[in-house]
Amino acid sequence: MKNYKTADDIFREKEDNEREFQRKRVVKDINKSLDDVFGSRKKQTKGAGLLKFLFILLLILFLINFILGNIWLLKLFIKDLF
């Protein structure tokens, strides 16, 4: 037995398709507006993330080295003073 579509089914499908089309249009308009306000929102590439990670790591190492070096120099000068 074949399933026949009634007029209500056709009308409901038409409304669903139109609603989905309107939803996509609204999302597209919102994304375009956000791009206009905040500039181009590009996805960050993996290379840029890796460079940022390496930069932060080197900065942390530099700060640790700077602090420990100052402590060592302070101990050295205190010994020389006394």
Contact 13, 20 (CB under 8 A): no
**What are the domain boundaries of the chain?**
1-42, 45-82
Taking alpha carbons only, the member of 32, 50, 49 closest to residue 41 is 32
- Whether pLDDT at 69 is above 60: yes
Res. 62 pLDDT band, cuts 50 70 90:
very high
Higher-scoring residue by pLDDT: 53, 78: 53
10-52 tens-digit pLDDT: 999 999 999 999 999 999 999 999 888 887 766 656 667 888 9
Taking alpha carbons only, the member of 26, 45, 46, 29 closest to residue 37 is 29
Higher-scoring residue by pLDDT: 79, 29: 29
pLDDT number for residue 80: 73
Average pLDDT over residues 41-64: 83
